[in-house]
Amino acid sequence: MFIQQFTRAAAAAVNKHSVDEVVGLWREPAAYDSPLTGPQQGLAALAARESALFDGFSDLTATIQPLGQVNSIGAALVRFDGTHDGHYAGIAPSGNTIAVEMVAVVTFDDEGYIIGERVFLDTAAVLSQLTGSAGTGTP
């Protein structure tokens, strides 16, 4: 089952902060969609996104638990922990620690590489942890 291997390899790559290893798990079209980034496509966009994540959280760690797979679609529970000590998503470093859980739904090609991922998470909770304010999403 691809999801088992992917979750182990993805957690190891993120925990080493290896952009190359993360990108190595993917193949084009490398379609990605998250409420934090919006839709993106391509391995270059993937590399830039991962690099920005590692730059924004120098001690970022990931725990990734496979939830299951049906045909080419798998799901995983992902948890990121780290300190917001670099610029990320246009937000200056706050020094705040984050603990973010999300569900990732991934699509595999026939060889077990990821070709697409859609992320579901509570963006208000993420922004609250980054900025230290409860915020309502309105200025």
pLDDT tens-digit readout, 13-63: 999 999 999 999 999 999 999 998 899 999 999 999 999 999 999 999 999
Give pTM, 2 decimals.
0.91
Sign of the four-CA dihedral 60, 50, 108, 112: negative
Q: Is the pLDDT of residue 65 over 60?
A: yes
Domains observed in the chain: 2-131 (3.10.450.50)
* 136, pLDDT greater than 80: no
pLDDT, tens only, 101-127: 999 999 999 999 999 999 999 999 999
Alpha carbon 15 to chain centroid distance? 12
User: CA 42, CA 29: separation in Å to the nearest integer?
Assistant: 5
Query: For residues 52 and 87, what is the distance between their CA atoms, to the nearest angstrom?
Result: 8
